[in-house]
Amino acid sequence: MKFPAFVLAAALCAAGARAADLTALWAERVKCTVAVEYVTQTELERRPTVAYGTVVDTQGTIILPSAAIDLRVSPSQIKDFKVYIPGDPDGTEAEYLGRDAYTGWHFVRASASIRGRLVPVTAFAGPEAARETGLADEVWGIGIRNKDEDFVPYILQSHVALLQLLPQRTAIAQQEVAGPGLPVFDRDGRFVGLGASSFGQTFLEFSGAEREGAPVMLVNLEESSAFLVAAEVLPYIGRTPKNVFGRPLAWLGAYGLEPMDREVAAFLKLASHSGAVVSEVLEGSPAEKAGLKAHDIILGVDGEPLPRFRPDRVVVDYVERLIAAHSPGQTMTLSILRGSDRVELKVVLDEEPRLVREASRMYFERIGFSAREFVYGDAVARHSKAGDLTGVIAHLVKPNSPADLAGLRPDDWIKEIDGAPVADFASAAQRLSEIDKDAARTETVLLVNRGSETAVLRIKLH
């Protein structure tokens, strides 16, 4: 009769030892995680955002996942970065360093005053050979609660269910295993990966109107079951951008890559191939100069055939990452299928033209809108000649302002101000400022381009 009691005691004892062990590992590893808060400040509002990051070196460098900051927002409008140590309600100032195009990570640097309390994740990296996660391995990671709970850290635990190339090697656990951007460890406390954006899960939603249940996809923004394996993280943590724009940025100029699916490959007698269809070749781009044509199918890059992914569309990310891994000035070789011909093209990559987030902007208080410099991407989006970079874009239109009431809409392309063509941003900004400040002015007339049409807008000033 005593035997079962003994077994029970031993079991309890073992469980207790393991738990204590994991708690200690967790407490030590929480030090490589932080919450980062920043403010997006536009002409009309200040909007705080919180993201979670992992410390990657002893200089207080923190990486945040790509989705943490909206890429369309100008770095000049994201400010007041603060780093919070999990569980501590007081944040300290931090600096935004920019986004690395290859990994997509944003880099932030914590102030010197708290660096002593941070431990880089590399301290838990372990030997290279032991880093690979295997199917069914037990893994655990860190989650961080909200600001009103002082960002307290907590533990998540699961097992690896699947390993996929998306195109980075990504482990998918049975349940949520870490906050996006927060680290994942194995049972011995070795770093095995970084929480990725979570996948949508489909649920049935029942309501009075939908008694049979309507499928809805839900995405958990706080915790993820997917993580990039360590080999996709550790080699790249040194890619701190040289500037907030992440320049230099390599540019190919093949627009709208679309995956070639298996059926199409079979039809084109390319049974074993993967490929990406080029929708358009941008004017003046390296791709155009090298002779790439719209509807070409990219089958290989730098002598290597494109691998097959599941799902097929991952091949697009794969090609885009290959481009981002290059520097402007470097040569990329593309293996192309054009009609039924195979073509090899050598493309010398160039620096990406000025992006929307780099464009100059100015707000005109009385008229009630902000004008933004017209950049290359605007010309592409509007099917206009890349050489024609005249005019400015209405970036933000203040609700119920004179501009709004006159019918100006965000993304309108302002071609003329008071009947005179707009040459560039500087001259438009000057003229609009003069109008904005001239109290005697009762109207200004803009000619704007919207889609395939134009419109003459009379803005009545008061």
Partner 1 sequence: MSGGFERLLDSVVRIDVSELNFEDGARRLDASIGSGVILSQDGLILTNAHVVGPKAVDINVTLASLERVNAKLVGWDHWTDLSLIRLNPDEVKKRSLAFKHAEFGDSEKLYVGETVYAVGTPHGLTRTVTRGIISNNNRYFEDTEGVDGYETGNFNSWLQTDAAINPGNSGGPLVTEDGRVVGITSRAYLGANNLGFAIPSVIAKRIVAGLVKDGTITRSYIGIIPKALQDLEGFYDLAANSGVLVDSVESGSPASNAGLRAGDVILAIDGKKVDGRFPEELPMIQNMIASQPVGSTLVLDYKRGSREDTASLVTARLDSRMGEEWVSDTWGIGVRKVSRAFARENQLADDTGVLVIGVQRGFPAEVAGLARGDIITKINQNPVASLDVVRATDAAYSAKPAPTLFEVQRERRVALVVLKP
9 Cβ partners below 8 Å, 6+ apart? Answer: none
Q: Which is nearer to partner 1, 85 or 306 (CB)?
A: 306
Q: Which is nearer to partner 1, 89 or 256 (CB)?
A: 256
Q: Which is nearer to partner 1, 194 or 334 (CB)?
A: 334
Q: Which is nearer to partner 1, 257 or 347 (CB)?
A: 257
Applying CB under 8 A, which residues contact partner 1? 255-256, 258, 260-261, 263-264, 266-268, 277-280, 294-295, 339, 383, 416, 418-419, 443, 445, 447, 451-456, 458, 460
Q: Which is nearer to partner 1, 48 or 256 (CB)?
A: 256
Give least dist CB 81 to partner 1, A. 35
Cite the DSSP H helix spans in 109-183.
Answer: 112-115
CA–CA dist 6, 291 (Å, integer): 78
Give least dist CB 454 to partner 1, A. 4
Q: Which is nearer to partner 1, 207 or 272 (CB)?
A: 272
Q: Which is nearer to partner 1, 190 or 450 (CB)?
A: 450
Give least dist CB 284 to partner 1, A. 18
CA–CA dist 120, 102 (Å, integer): 21
Give least dist CB 102 to partner 1, A. 24
Give least dist CB 453 to partner 1, A. 4
Q: Which is nearer to partner 1, 45 or 453 (CB)?
A: 453
Inter-residue contact 139 to 158 (CB < 8 Å): yes
Residue of 304, 76, 30, 324 lying closest to 178 (CA atoms): 30
Residue of 394, 396, 392 lying closest to 373 (CA atoms): 392
Inter-residue contact 80 to 130 (CB < 8 Å): no
Give least dist CB 458 to partner 1, A. 6
CA–CA dist 103, 122 (Å, integer): 17
Give least dist CB 316 to partner 1, A. 10
Residue of 353, 323, 340, 461 lying closest to 404 (CA atoms): 461
Give least dist CB 416 to partner 1, A. 7
The DSSP bridge pattern shows strands 254-260 and 275-281 to be: antiparallel
Answer left, alpha or beta for residue 126, where phi above 0 means left and psi between -120 and 50 means alpha.
left
54 Cβ partners below 8 Å, 6+ apart? Answer: 32, 33, 34, 62, 63, 121, 181, 182, 183, 194
Distances (CA, A) of 315 to 30, 274, 300: 35, 8, 11
